[in-house]
Amino acid sequence: CKPLGNFVFKPDHAIACCVFTWIFALIASAPPLFGWSRYIPEGLQCSCGPDWYTTNNKYNNESYVMFLFGFCFAVPFATIVFCYTQLLITLKMAAKAQAESASTQKAEREVTRMVVVMVLGFLVCWMPYTSFALWVVNNRGQTFDLRFASIPSIFSKSSAVYNPVIYVLLNKQFRSCMMKMLGMGSGEDEDSSTSQSVTEVSKVGPA
């Protein structure tokens, strides 16, 4: 979809988004290297993560955890909700203007389903980690099982996996492009009408 009108997403835009993502990640992960909190083994001691546990004011762990909550959870989640809401509003207007088009109605349902799954996927992966970190920070001195502490970490690391899976399963255009890239055919011809409807949604104004 192109909810911004006639904006065409080009390779340069994709590169810029990747650069922005790396800069965002660097801003979030670099502070412990310069003394604001620190990285320590977490959970079952198989990997490292931010120090949620130490109460020593020397490391300012509490403030860093709150920074991560706002910068790496609240802001991305608000951005996801805002962007997907705008996308669904634009798509719904297009579907209303083409009420007689079965392919447009089908496209709206497919995109809506994908949006819901993407938002839920983000929450499933990051809500346990965020909630546990905040609980530890606000309940200093409480004991907990290290095996239990490793579960939120596993959920958060799975976030690197679920996005491509969701897109491949629920987005026909994404799946078609991936198959072409892998040399496995030209895509799903039978779904071309639906894909075309989704692609051209932004060209249809409200009724």
| Per-residue 3-state assignment (H helix, E strand, C coil) for 62-89 | HHHHHHHHHHHHHHHHHHHHHHHHHHHH
Confidence (pLDDT) at 148:
79
- The b/e string for 16-44 (b: 16+ C-beta within 10 A; e otherwise) is eeeeeeeeeeeeeeebbeeeebbebebbe
Residue type, 164: P
Confidence (pLDDT) at 56:
66
Confidence (pLDDT) at 21:
92
- At 6, the pLDDT band (50, 70, 90 cuts) reads low
- Point out the least confidently predicted range of 12-21, 66-75, 131-140: 131-140
Per-residue pLDDT for 118 more than 80? yes
Per-residue pLDDT for 93 more than 50? yes
pLDDT digits (tens, 9 = 90+) for 159-189: 888 878 887 888 777 788 878 888 876 544 4
The rounded percent of the chain whose pLDDT value lies above 90 is: 16
- The stretch 123-150 carries a mean pLDDT of 83
Per-residue pLDDT for 75 more than 90? yes
Stronger pLDDT, 153 or 1, i.e. the higher one: 153
| Closest among 156, 150, 157, 159 to 41, alpha carbons compared | 150
Task: Examine residue 159 and state whether it is found in any structural domain, yes or no.
Answer: yes
- Which CATH number goes with the domain that contains 43? 1.20.1070.10
- The stretch 75-101 carries a mean pLDDT of 83
Cα–Cα distance, 22 to 27 (Å, whole number): 9
- At 190, the pLDDT band (50, 70, 90 cuts) reads very low
Task: Examine residue 5 and state whether it is found in any structural domain, yes or no.
Answer: no
Q: 47 forms bridges with which residues in the sheet? A: 42
Confidence (pLDDT) at 1:
46
- The stretch 43-67 carries a mean pLDDT of 79
Report the Cα 85 to chain-centroid distance in Å.
Answer: 14
Task: Examine residue 1 and state whether it is found in any structural domain, yes or no.
Answer: no
Task: Please state the domain count of the chain.
Answer: 1
For residue 114, the enclosing domain spans 11-203
Cβ atoms within 10 Å, residue 89: 12
Confidence (pLDDT) at 204:
45
- The stretch 69-88 carries a mean pLDDT of 90
Task: Examine residue 114 and state whether it is found in any structural domain, yes or no.
Answer: yes
Angle between helices 102-138 and 75-97 (to 10 degrees): 170
DSSP string, the chain: --TTSS----HHHHHHHHHHHHHHHHHHHSGGGGTSS-EEEETTTTEEEE--S---TTS-HHHHHHHHIIIIIIHHHHHHHHHHHHHHHHHHHHHHHTTT-HHHHHHHHHHHHHHHHHHHHHHHHHHHHHHHHHHHHHSTT----HHHHHHHHHHHHTHHHHHHHHHHHH-HHHHHHHHHHTTS-S--GGGHHHHHHHHTGGGS---
Per-residue pLDDT for 98 more than 60? yes
Average pLDDT, the chain: 78
- The stretch 39-46 carries a mean pLDDT of 80
